[in-house]
Chain A
Amino acid sequence: MADVTTTEINHSEHAPHVHITPMWIYLTVFFALAVGTVLTVAASRFDLGMWNTPIALVIATIKAVLVILFFMHVIHSPRLTWVVVIASFLWLGVLFVLMFADYLTRAWNIY
């Protein structure tokens, strides 16, 4: 009789393969994240007017993507993992888009 683990493997579309990320990739990503942090701090020293928030967000997004792809191993993950990751961000997008549908149009009928 098959035990749980073997049935799992029989069922998985992708046989679990172990991908070992070389050390230099981790170090490069870490370095990039550190640079990103420095940039964030540096950008906060200048008043860029309406660009303050977008620039901070862009840097933060790049850092988050690096963490997700490399530290969380998504780049070597099966398609199902990609579906999960992308769907989660789409959901976040729903939250933002529909919320801004309120914020950006709230003043329309007043002015």
Chain B
Amino acid sequence: MSSLTLHDVRFVEPEATRNYITQDYGALSWLFTKDHKRIAILYLISITALFILGGFFAVVMRIELLTPEGDLLTSDTYNKFFTLHGIIMIFFFLIPSIPAVLGNFLLPLMLGAKDLAFPKINLLSWYLYIIAAVMGLYIIITGGVDTGWTFYTPFSTQFSNTHVFGVTFAAFIVGFSSILTGLNFLVTIHRMRAPGLTWFRLPLFVWAMYATSIVQLLATPVLAITLVMLMFERVVHVGIFDPALGGDPLLFQHMFWFYSHPAVYIMILPAMGVASEVVAAFTRKKIFGYQFVAYSSLAIAFLGFLVWAHHMFVAGISVYSAMIFSFLSYFVAVPSAIKVFNWTATLYRASVSLMTPMLYILGFIGLFTIGGVTGLFLAAIGLDVHVTDTYFVVAHFHYVMVGGAVMAYMAGLHYWWPKITGRMYPEWWARLAALLVFAGFNLTFFPQFVLGYLGMPRRYHAYAPEFQVLNVMSTAGASVLAVGYALPLCYLLWSLWYGRPAGPNPWGAVGLEWTTASPPPMENFHETPVVTWDAYDYPAMMKAMGETQNV
């Protein structure tokens, strides 16, 4: 680089203004790309499409639940709708959301690397995702599936006459897409950090992705094995889960939740990573207790594996093991609480700038806390016996997954949108949407806590008439929520053409991703950065800025 002549510079110059979007044109240049940023965009488009599809099922269910009678959908169709809603939202939207879109885009940028460690495997993971999604769509068109997203045996192996085999096969494949992403991230974080970027200088988002990747790598294979056993029993009647053949139906639940409880941390850990980035950027402070927040991600990843049978308290497991699992479930809340307290401590006496990403994160902190605390209610065996399989559980996990994970995803999308596209989103509309989402969300799901406590069971299309008022509130909230999600879709697209150009660092944030152009060039950095500062070094930056202003 140092030996460039003036002649070279003249030819290099137009190159420099190219970015990953304008580097190449044509569909093939995208479909065969190995660039992590382009793959992130492919994922963004795909998961948005599936989010809309999953949302469609939710809206129809909420309309059905306006009246106590099951008048819009038959009970069979309703079963299929909640199953498809769950499978799409969990396996095809929330699990890939932050890692595969924001993580893919940002991890190399945050590490000062040119790409992930295995660019081709990254593309492969997207293709696996697409293959699974196409299988899923085919199954939806040809009749769907009605087991619930948990595929419980013996219903799934012996009784359901819907497309159980196809859907579990699709979930099996999409699981590998998730494993490959996790593997790629782990190797990248270990091997591709820029010179000087030591572990404790890493942004907390990277720590969160690291913990997430461990969970993806260790838990997802168990899901794969479990689903293969399910398919085997269903098709060739090997006795694994069927007592008549010498199996045990609870074995399925054990193995399924050995994956699926950690999987809830695949969804929430990345969200916590986004929260740390956004809180630091909009308070201009170091995250309070950085090391605690970093280690708590690992603690969550580990403890998350020890609590799974809290989903099986009434399934007939041993009461003694139920007590152990109940006890362990309380532990997993500790590292989550550490994070919440540390964010709160960071916010304390800060001048918080209430831009859209921060609004979403404030929502995230509050709603995640409600979700987590109600998780503790559920972890108490006595209370769980009362509210299990009711709307209380539905409210609990929507508070963590939608109020927590989706809010943080929206925060991250807005926060890094200028980096990804080079354009600002319209702030006024975005704030409006954030407020609508917050209001709509609470109106939708808070009544469900009450409904569940009063005894309304989940997964039925008809209900006792005394539950109608709260259900109408919930459906009204869902309409507001739908508007809140539709708005960003419109204004973010609009901003691609009409948004104000963002420049490299519109938030004045620290972090390597903000030191390169927006959108970044294909190779991310023209020169490999050398890191000599800690993460969130806002105090130093503010001081430097103060000094330049005084001059």
Which residues of chain A have a CB within 8 Å of any CB of chain B? 1-2, 4, 7-8, 10-12, 80, 87-88, 91, 94-95, 98-99, 101-109
Contacts and interface: CB of A to CB of B under 8 A. Distances in A.
Contact of B115 (A2, A4, A87, A109): A4
Given A4-B114, A94-B305, A106-B317, 7 more contacts: A1-B1, A1-B528, A4-B115, A7-B113, A98-B325, A102-B250, A105-B318
Contacts of B255: 95
B281 to A, nearest CB: 27
Given A1-B527, A8-B191, A91-B218, A101 B321 contact: yes
Contacts of B113: 4, 7
B320 A101 contact: yes
B321 A105 contact: yes
Interface string B96-132: 0000000000000000011101000000000000000
A106 B320 CA distance: 8
19 contacts: A1-B528, A4-B192, A7-B192, A7-B195, A8-B191, A10-B195, A12-B191, A80-B190, A95-B222, A95-B258, A98-B308, A98-B309, A99-B254, A102-B254, A103-B318, A106-B321, A107-B318, A108-B320, A109-B319
A98 B528 contact: no
B528 A7 contact: yes
B398 interface: no
B192 A8 contact: yes
Interface in B221-235: 222
A88 B250 CA distance: 24
Contacts of A103: 318
A11 B192 contact: yes
Interface in B181-203: 190-193, 195
Contact of B191 (A1, A11, A87, A94): A11
A105 B527 CA distance: 61
Given A11-B192, A88-B218, A91-B218, A102 B115 contact: no
Chain B interface, DSSP helix/strand/loop, else mixed: helix
A11 B114 CA distance: 15
Contact of A102 (B218, B222, B306, B321): B321
Contacts of B193: 11
Contacts of A88: 218
State the 4 A-B residue pairs at the shortest beta-carbon distance, nearest first. Answer: A106-B318, A102-B321, A105-B318, A101-B321
Contacts of A11: 191-193
Chain A interface, DSSP helix/strand/loop, else mixed: helix
B115 A101 contact: no
Contact of B318 (A1, A2, A95, A101): A101
Contacts of A87: 218
Contacts of B319: 109
B318 A102 contact: yes
B191 A98 contact: no
A98 B262 CA distance: 15
Nearest to A94: B305
Contacts of A7: 113, 192, 195, 528
B324 interface: yes
Contacts of B527: 1
A95 B113 CA distance: 36
A87 B219 CA distance: 12
A91 B21 CA distance: 42
A91 B305 contact: yes
B110 to A, nearest CB: 15
Contacts of B114: 4
Nearest to B528: A2
Contacts of A4: 113-115, 192
Nearest to B319: A109
Interface string B301-327: 000011011000000011111001100
Contacts of A95: 222, 255, 258
Interface in B210-226: 218, 222
Contacts of A94: 305-306
Give the most central of B254, B318, B527: most A CB within 10 Å: B318
Contacts of A105: 318, 320-321
A91 B527 CA distance: 41
B108 to A, nearest CB: 10
Nearest to B193: A11
A98 B306 CA distance: 8
Nearest to A88: B218
A19 B254 CA distance: 41
Nearest to A104: B318
A19 to B, nearest CB: 20
A103 B113 CA distance: 48
Nearest to A4: B114
B221 to A, nearest CB: 9
Nearest to A108: B320
A95 to B, nearest CB: 6
A98 B321 contact: yes
A94 B255 CA distance: 12
B241 to A, nearest CB: 14
A109 B258 CA distance: 25
Contacts of B308: 98
A104 B305 CA distance: 20
